[in-house]
Amino acid sequence: MKIRIALNLLFLILSSCGIQDGRPNGVFIRVQNNSDVNFTGVIVQSGNVEKAFGSILARSKSDYKEFEYAFKYAAVWLQAEGQGLSMAPNDYTG
H or E stretch covering 65: strand 65-67
Distance CA 29, CA 46 (A): 9
Arithmetic mean of pLDDT over the chain: 81
pLDDT the model gives residue 20? 57
How many CA atoms are closer than 13 Å to the CA of 76, on its beta-carbon side?
19
* Average pLDDT value for residue range 37-53: 93
pLDDT the model gives residue 33? 95
pTM of the model: 0.70
Distance CA 67, CA 65 (A): 7
Give the pLDDT band of residue 12 (cuts 50, 70, 90): low
Determine what percent of the chain is predicted with pLDDT higher than 70: 71
Distance CA 60, CA 8 (A): 37
Listed residue (27, 30, 32) closest to 67, CA to CA: 27
